[in-house]
Amino acid sequence: MIVVLIGYMASGKSTLGKMLAKKLNYEFVDLDDYIEEIEKMTVSDVFKTKGEIYFRKQESFYLKEKLENSNNIILSVGGGTPCFGNNMEMILESKNVTSIYLKASIPKLVKKLIKKKDKRPLIAHIETEEALTEFIGKHLFERLPYYSQAQLIINTGSKSKKNIVEELILKLF
């Protein structure tokens, strides 16, 4: 089985994905890290030097590769991955794949992202917490039609990471 974790940046896809992979004895793959390894530069640098269109094409190519050639993995994709090209369709139509939307509240996302916005090309330019809240709200509204297509939706709320992983396991099996 391939479990694809989708959700907004800082929703816990990588952290929870690693924990889930460990519990299930699966491999964990972060699609952005995989792309960085192959491109030999950070996602931020790919955006800066080659542009978003190039990045999105590569992202789609590597997503397809992972969905077709993997088994027993937890695949964490970037927040924008499901929203471009036919990526969400590809995830939903792939055999042996379960997609899970990790739904986090806007205040929780703002709290996490305000601390590390410099490492996120999409929000690095945003100055205030108020502006970040507005940006995330608008962005989430645009992405929700994609995220909500996931087979499972887990509301992360104020649950502990351990409880979320247990809930993921219960819903998967």
Sequence ranges of the binding site for ATP: 10-15, 120
Task: Tell me which DSSP letter residue 40 carries.
Answer: T
Binding residues: 10-15, 32, 56, 79, 120, 143
* CB of 145 closer than 8 Å to CB of 3: no
- The H helix count followed by the E strand count for the chain is 8, 5
Other residues' Cβ atoms within 10 Å of the Cβ of residue 35:
20
Q: Map residue 155 onto helix, strand or coil.
A: strand
Binding residues for Mg(2+): 14
Distance separating alpha carbons of residues 144 and 148, to the nearest angstrom: 6
DSSP letter string over 1-29?
-EEEEE-STTSSHHHHHHHHHHHHT-EEE
User: Which one, of 70, 31, 23, lies nearest residue 168 by Cα?
Assistant: 23
The token duo for 88 is: 């969400």
Residue 42 dihedral angles phi and psi, to the nearest 5°: -70, 160
Binding residues for substrate: 32, 56, 79, 143
